[in-house]
Chains A and B, each alone.
Chain A
């Protein structure tokens, strides 16, 4: 009997015994669905981390000169205290680094503090006020949808103009235009000149609750003491040039902080690498734990299929006897039952894939995790499903193949 016939027969049997087949493919179904969903989460977050996250929070080929790293997971108190004792970054530091840099770069100042922004009777609470220089928008890749960013001239003169994040504009102005309206930030009136394109969120943190104003404008007093900034942003054209610029910046800062050669830096040149290393650690754990979960459910699925197949062989003993009397060889019977168990598992895997993709879309919709289906996981899901089916089918199928046709035909 050709393999194709065996599979057609298998699918017929599955259709005829929907309930039983349904139960037997449940294990593989769950295994494959969880494989796809979990892989999608890891894959999605991975892509997010490497592509978008770095861009949004740091910018491409960009480093930040800071007192301490921006992203600081799992830091012991002692390290925190040491960081707090470090000298802060001054305007003059930024200017010195800027002058010393030899590769072409774009730079910006940045300081941030959480504030409330008012318009009329409305309040937007917990808004990140960023005082920055004019190239900040380029470095952070923030596109202005309405209006314009502020200019270098406006920055230097400290003109009280503000560019709003999408969420702030929506909160305060709903669907009216915010342009040329006057909002109050820390009691100071700011004229809205632009709104930034919606950024969405990263791992559940909203990225649109901010307002950007010129670094030299009056609100700088809300953010930092005079002459101090949180970060000096330097964007190079390539990774190599960024490394070069970082070396220069390191030298300048070490000499400005009078560090001896044996002393560690008391500042950081922060890039997206740190956060990516952190994520790589998490995804390594997932990559170790995940297959465990999937393997357990596939093994259970295999055992279930094997049991159902043994039952099926017992129930269909007469049929096997008949087929043998009509000329089915051992290998024909073996093939028939192997195909059946492989088909059950593959159908289970197929439903699992659909459910896994559905689950991925659901996770995307209701949770902050940016899940995205990986094609490799779909292929692997099908292969694993079919593989489990074949392995689980070997024992029942060989039992069926070994049946004595006379005894089998005699069975009631």
Chain B
């Protein structure tokens, strides 16, 4: 139960090749009607390839802010963020969109599937923005759905699927571009315990296949599935522990 050794990173360095995520003194301030809220106050975190990390912390601890930064949905106020040895903390909007498309697979608490589209079409979405042709998209999307065990549900719409199945469609969508990291935000928050268990099994299987996973959760038994737990408190890392799977 020791904290993983950090690369001794200084501004101006480049991260080691097997470090997928490196944040260096990351801060993020919000201007809330004249009052500055310092959501992150200098987070330095390194995540290696094929790690399975749970990010925990009470609400207001800054875990959502960290997720948004790691997911390239937001840019830091100061500090550096390197993704796959590429510095992304100072990229513009379109470049970030491209990174999200290629490197990050999001899984949301509320699934966020398009209600009128079939499972297959939902999974195809990232490939559309990647500019792939229709035939290729369909094949890749079908393959991703097979990976999460939904080969027989491709033509179904979200309202014809159970909660667990919907989340598996969302996972297939996150995987379809073969991203560097799977970023899950409370992936079991809307599911019962049995179904949550199923989803955790899917995550475990993906982890075994070499997928890097970062998961935000406030449930200890869900975090227990991860190999490493990072706890945030007041915008700083409070604990960072490896644990037996």
Contact = CB atoms under 8 A, between A and B. Distances in A.
Given A330-B93, A405-B73, A323 B125 contact: yes
A322 interface: yes
Interface string A309-349: 00000000011001111111111100000000000000000
Interface string B175-187: 0010000000000
A326 B131 contact: no
Contacts of A16: 116
Contacts of B173: 326
A103 interface: no
A322 B101 CA distance: 11
Interface string B66-88: 00100101100000000000000
A2 interface: yes
B97 interface: yes
Contacts of A5: 128
A325 B114 contact: no
16 contacts: A2-B131, A16-B116, A322-B112, A324-B73, A324-B100, A325-B112, A326-B100, A326-B126, A326-B129, A326-B173, A328-B129, A329-B94, A329-B97, A329-B129, A330-B97, A409-B108
A327 B126 CA distance: 6
A327 B101 contact: yes
A327 B174 CA distance: 11
Nearest to A321: B112
A102 interface: no
B37 interface: no
Interface in A171-225: none
Contacts of A324: 73, 97, 100
A325 B74 CA distance: 11
Contacts of B101: 326-327
A104 to B, nearest CB: 72
Which of A5, A16, A328, A330: most chain B Cβ within 10 A?
Answer: A328
A12 interface: yes
| Majority DSSP secondary structure for residues of A touching B | helix
Given A323-B129, A327-B100, A327-B102, 12 more contacts: A324-B73, A324-B97, A325-B71, A325-B112, A326-B129, A327-B98, A327-B126, A327-B129, A330-B93, A330-B97, A406-B73, A406-B74
Interface in A1-19: 1-2, 5, 12, 16
A261 to B, nearest CB: 84
A340 to B, nearest CB: 14
Nearest to B106: A325
B224 interface: no
Given A325-B73, A325-B106, A406-B73, A332 B129 contact: yes
Nearest to B103: A327
A1 B129 CA distance: 5
- A interface residue count range (under 10 / 10 to 19 / 20 to 34 / 35 or more): 20 to 34
Interface residues of B, number: 24
Contacts of A2: 131
A16 B125 CA distance: 18
Nearest to A318: B112
A271 B112 CA distance: 76
Interface string B154-177: 000000000000000000010001
B90 to A, nearest CB: 18
A405 B71 CA distance: 11
Interface string B111-125: 010101000000001
Contacts of A318: 112
Contacts of B68: 406
Cβ-closest 10 pairs across A and B = A327-B101, A327-B129, A329-B97, A326-B126, A322-B112, A329-B94, A327-B100, A405-B73, A16-B116, A406-B73
Which of B93, B94, B126, B129: most chain A Cβ within 10 A?
Answer: B129
A325 B177 CA distance: 13
A58 B93 CA distance: 73
A5 B116 CA distance: 16
A1 B94 contact: no
Contacts of B128: 1, 5
Contacts of B74: 406
B47 to A, nearest CB: 20
A67 to B, nearest CB: 77
Interface string B134-145: 000000000000
A320 to B, nearest CB: 11
B130 interface: yes
Nearest to B183: A325
A217 B126 CA distance: 92
A5 B121 CA distance: 12
A329 B93 contact: yes
B99 to A, nearest CB: 8
Given A1-B129, A405-B73, A327 B97 contact: yes
A14 to B, nearest CB: 12
A405 B173 CA distance: 18
Nearest to B94: A329
Which of B97, B98, B116: most chain A Cβ within 10 A?
Answer: B97
A322 B173 CA distance: 11
B214 to A, nearest CB: 15
B131 A328 contact: no
A326 B98 contact: no
A35 to B, nearest CB: 34
Contacts of A322: 112, 114
Nearest to A16: B116
A322 B97 CA distance: 12
Contacts of A12: 116
